[in-house]
Amino acid sequence: MPVHRSGTARLRRLAVAGTLLAAFSFLTALPSSAATTPARGSASMGMGVVAHDGSDGTPAGGRATRTEGVDVSGHQGNVAWSTLWNSGVRWAYTKATEGTYYTNPYFAQQYNGSYNVGMIRGAYHFATPDTTSGAAQADYFVDHGGGWSRDGRTLPGTLDIEWNPYGAACYGKTQSGMVAWIADFLNTYRARTGRDAVIYTATSWWTQCTGNYGGFAANNPLWIARYSTDPGTLPAGWGFYTMWQYTSSGPTVGDHDKFNGALDRVQALALG
């Protein structure tokens, strides 16, 4: 004899089915991990510093003379250079390239604009060691704004080597492999320009991804990133920093930096 389910039982089944459907819809609507990965080309100096190495700080006072600088990328668009000049900024770096696939669309306004207002300027390259060789990226950098001229107003190019915003922190390289990649870039840059490039990095990344290698310190000026009241412990080999990026929050635009010396020392670096 067939058993007839009550109307109450049918309602319960419908309610459960509705709950499961709602849960499935919610899960499928959640963003994937890929959605949190930035677009290629969007990286900029210090992008990983806040996430990996602490929050913004203000430099402690009472130190030796330091000269204020700024670094910018395509994120800042057209920069009000006269405003920065009037605030005391005297040197600037502009992102020129990333990998061998990206050039900053605002590079001309930023690089020439800082120069035209009176600043000493330079260009930087955001390294992606997992995409192409160090030599290929150095050539791309030099060919797209990263060169150098002995005009007394142009700083040597900077290799920005830090956390990978698109994947594994060390770009899938062993410590020795990373050192070899960096050397390939630096040697090619010197061969192309006659200058030793500046190395921009953070001590914790450098320790993790190069094994705290000290072999570049004799020739390559250090630009240390640390968003705190002082630069902290430096990577192996460097007894002092040349530049220190101390904040990513302006004022005005960009990351702000201190050159370890008076303006005449900035000029000396420009002249080589």
CATH class of the structural domain 49-271: alpha beta
Q: Say which range, 7-16, 78-87, 170-179, 187-196, has the weakest mean pLDDT.
A: 7-16
What mean pLDDT comes out for the span 120-148? 98
- pLDDT of 59 strictly over 90: no
The pLDDT of residue 36? 78
User: Residue 48 has what pLDDT?
Assistant: 67
* Contact (Cβ atoms closer than 8 angstroms) between residue 223 and residue 242: yes
The residue with greater pLDDT, 151 or 31, is: 151
Please tell me the predicted confidence (pLDDT) of residue 21.
40
Mean pLDDT of 74-82: 96
pLDDT at residue 53 in the model = 61
CB of 120 within 8 A of CB of 154?
A: yes
97-117 pLDDT per residue, tens: 999 999 999 999 999 999 999
Handedness of CA 198, 201, 207, 210 (dihedral sign): negative
- 98 SS3 class: strand
The answer to whether 124 touches 45, Cβ cutoff 8 Å, is yes
Residue 180: is it exposed, middle or buried by C-beta count within 10 angstroms (0-12/13-18/19+)? middle
Tell me the average pLDDT of the chain. 87
Catalytic residue numbers read 71, 160, 162
Task: Output the pLDDT for position 216.
Answer: 98
166-206 residue pLDDT tens? 999 999 999 999 999 999 999 999 999 999 999 999 999 99
* pLDDT category of residue 37 using cuts at 50, 70 and 90: confident
Which position has the higher pLDDT, 145 or 33?
Answer: 145
For the chain, the structural domain boundaries read 49-271
The pLDDT assigned to 114 comes to: 98
- pLDDT(54) > 80: no
> pLDDT tens across 216-270, in order?
999 999 999 999 999 999 999 999 999 999 998 888 888 999 999 999 999 999 9
Q: pLDDT value at position 51?
A: 54
Express the helix, strand and coil content of the chain in percent, nearest 5 each. 35, 15, 45
| pLDDT of 9 above 70 | no
Global confidence as pTM? 0.81
Q: Which helix (H) or strand (E) holds 190?
A: helix 175-193
- Three-state secondary-structure class, residue 14: helix
Residue for token pair 């290698």: 213
